[in-house]
Amino acid sequence: MLDVRIEGDNEFSICRPIGEIDAYTVDDFREALSSLATVSKLLVDLSEVPFMDSAGLGALIGSIRKAGENNGEIVVACGRESLLELLKTTGFDQIVTVTESTSEALTALGKNEEQ
């Protein structure tokens, strides 16, 4: 089971999936990301995702393409070593900013934690 929490507005939003992102749950994740395609700045917080497979990675890449088409910016926060390794091994961190904490991600997006 995957719960995806979204907060924010069209200027800045945070997408926080909670649970595993795999072939069985990726549709919920993809749908949430699609609803955020026009957001100017998006933080995807993967801190509550214990596992993500290639389907989840594909959903993230798709959202980056859509954000780029709309001149949006995405930063991914991921403090779990296993997911960081996946993002680095696949070269994902070369196409989008990946940070180890949400505070680093907020800084990368030009936000402070009070905003």
What's this model's pTM, rounded to 2 decimal places?
A: 0.92
Domain count, the chain: 1
In a domain, 70, yes or no: yes
In a domain, 114, yes or no: no
CB 14 within 8 A of CB 47: no
Query: pLDDT tens digits for 33-87?
Result: 999 989 999 999 999 999 999 999 999 999 988 888 888 899 999 999 989 998 9
DSSP string, 62-103: HHHHHHHHTT-EEEEE---HHHHHHHHHTTGGGTSEEESSHH
Structural domain contains residue 40: yes
| Residue whose entry in the numeric block shows the structure tokens 């696949």 | 90
Q: Which domain holds residue 33?
A: 3-103
In CATH, what number is assigned to the domain containing residue 54? 3.30.750.24
99 found inside a domain? yes
